[in-house]
Structure 1
Amino acid sequence: MIGTLTLDQLRVLTTIAETGSFSAAGRKLGRVQSAISQTVTTLEDTQGVTLFDRSGFRPVLTDVGRVLVAQAHSVLASAARFEAVAAGTRAGVEPELAIAIDPLVPTAAFIDSLHALRTAFPYLPVSFSTEGLGGAERRLRRGDAALALCVLLPSVPEDVAALPLLGIDLVPVVSPVHPLAGLDRPVTAADLDEHIQLVLSDPAAPDGPSYGILGTRTWRFVDLARRLDFLLAGLGWCRMPDYLVAPYLADGRLRPLTIEGDPARATGPLTIYAAHMRNRVLGRAGSWLLGELQTRLA
């Protein structure tokens, strides 16, 4: 019962609208026509409206009837989601799955996995947030996210369960209009020290762990897109994910830099993890998504 309504009344109303008659609705719902008529009459009386014009051979929705049928569909859909979430929770599915993602994570495979998650758990409420560097881990620790796709620097904390998903090569690049692009040799630390390095940083901890910073002159950015704009404009050099800059290198809008004695080359690719707190075990949907991501990115 919802106030003076019942879900059954709304179901009868929408079924009549779909089938076109009281008798057809009765057949679909397995009830006699008189029961359908009585349900509609009760609904009209309690709401003080006329839902159907019965003057013709078939009942025709009134203007208010058409509006209320649309509302009834919405209420019934919400009720179905309510029941599905409750049933899923009884079966071990979390009532909501909150996911946070760092800016360096490539999104294509993740989007495909989210589509698959929606198919596997169609009624699961999913919340999603993109974070600055380090933000996804903070959301995990605050309990605002159950799962994070993130970089963990300088290493994986002991209280975080982290599954390595893929490695990201960060390649040093520069605009062809930048002075460093005109050097016909590997650049040195002294060369780089004269120019601005565009750095992706954690806005909440700007002096925290960093990766691949060589120069003393840095401009700090929270998101990759803004940093890419500055890079293409020739305002500095930086390390960018290879998957992101590949088309710009191919068409000449960016050029690769070879750095003499680059310490980042020795450390190899930067690892992207799927992480959750060890003391908060993932539910069925989160575990399913974790396996899906691992399979898709393998």
Structure 2
Amino acid sequence: MKIQQLQMLDALADTGSLQGAADKLHRTQAAVSMALKKLEQDAGFPLFDRDTYRLGLTTRGEQFLRQAREVLRQQQRLQSLTLQLQSGAEPQLRISYDHTCSPSLLFAAMRQVQQNYPATELLLSGESQLKSLRSVSSGDADLALCPWLPIFRQHGDFETRLVRPFELLVVIAPELVERYGGMPRQRHELLDLPMLIPQDQDIGINLDRMIRMPGQQRIRVNDSIAQRELLLAGMGWGICPGDLVNEAVARGALLQIEIPGFINEVHLEVHLVRSAERIAGPAGQLIWGAFAHSPDLS
């Protein structure tokens, strides 16, 4: 049995078809079909159920796949370790952060990397809608800072550490308060004001369901950065991640609307995330270790 055959089996299980597996691995469908047929011959028992419309796995095939995936994880970790042993500190450390979280949470640890590993280039990129998490899963990022729910493990095999709670604030620009004659103090007073709301932040929050507001004038945006800029411009009130607006609230550019019981409690946290399938280099391990005071939620 070859690693390449196990990779094809894993891709088939993920995509549900030979063509999907071929596209994922950049191989021809014929090559994938031949490799999986040889794998089944080597196994000595049926891996695939060919009586159904879609090529599925038999019960023994499912059990075989679980162990095959463990072999693939170990192989990836071995490859990662080999690279680290060859090169020492990483030439690059790729850090991705979700736009709903402030990258400043990582700055102290990044300064330590600059001091201890000056040859390591730090690549910092901001993403929307949990693309940072998927970047870690695909290997395009070494670390991610993002909102976290246990269900996100469906996107990959992750290790995570709690960084801080994830909070939502209801905010409005002073000029909008003045234009409409005062700060809203009750829920119904918001109905006369335009509302800024994310289209879909993909972080387990449905704001429409949470606030249950009738359909007043709305502006929908597809990322939190645009939402913050619209808030600062006085285009409406909105519910925004605290990491994005705390600084503006502190200097008075935005005002916090406090209406008791308006927002249902949100059970989310900001986590630092890395892949459980790859060995972290010294620079990545330094940043990971900076949050050792937080519980390890691997």
Q: After superposition, what is the alpha-carbon deviation per residue over 1:82-119, rounded to whole angstroms, capped at 9, x for unaligned?
A: xxxx9964376445322111112223342232121122
Whole-angstrom distance in 1 between the partners of 2:121 and 2:254? 41
Q: Which residue of 1 aligns with 2:232?
A: 232
- Cα separation, 2, equivalents of 1:126 and 1:251: 30
TM-score, normalised to structure 1's length?
Answer: 0.56
1:100 matched to 2:87:
no
Q: 1:263 to 1:154 in 2, by over 3 A?
A: farther
Q: Identity of paired residues, percent?
A: 24
What's the CA shift for 1:240?
A: 3.2
Unpaired runs of 5+ residues, structure 1, are: 1-85
- Tell me, which stretches of 5 or more residues in structure 2 are unaligned? 1-81
1:201–1:90 Cα change, 3 Å: farther
Alignment correspondent of 2:272: 274
The 10-residue stretch of structure 1 (86-95 or 238-247) with the greater mean CA deviation from structure 2: 86-95
Q: Which structure has the bigger radius of gyration? A: 1
1:220 maps to 221
Greater relative contact order (Cα 8 A, min sep 6): structure 1 or 2? 2
Question: Helix, strand or coil for the counterpart of 1:104?
Answer: coil
TM-score, normalised via structure 2 length: 0.56
Match for residue 290 of structure 2?
292
Partner of 1:31: none
Task: Look up the equivalent residue of 1:186 and give its one-letter code.
Answer: R
Do 2:101 and 2:241's aligned partners in 1 also have CA atoms closer than 8 Å?
A: no
Alignment partner of 1:209: what SS? coil
Offset at 1:201? Answer: 5.3
Show the counterpart of 2:4.
none
AA partner of residue 112 (structure 2): A
Of 162, 173, 176, the residue aligned with 1:175 is 173
- 1:209 alignment counterpart: 204
Q: Say what the alpha-carbon RMSD is for the aligned residues.
A: 3.4
Q: Match of 1:288, SS?
A: helix
Q: Count residues in correspondence.
A: 204
Match of 1:255 in 2: 255
1:101-152 deviation line (CA, Å, top 9, x unaligned): 1112223342232121122122223322111231201211221112111112
Over 3 Å counting, the alpha-carbon distance change for 1:219 and 1:248 in structure 2 is same
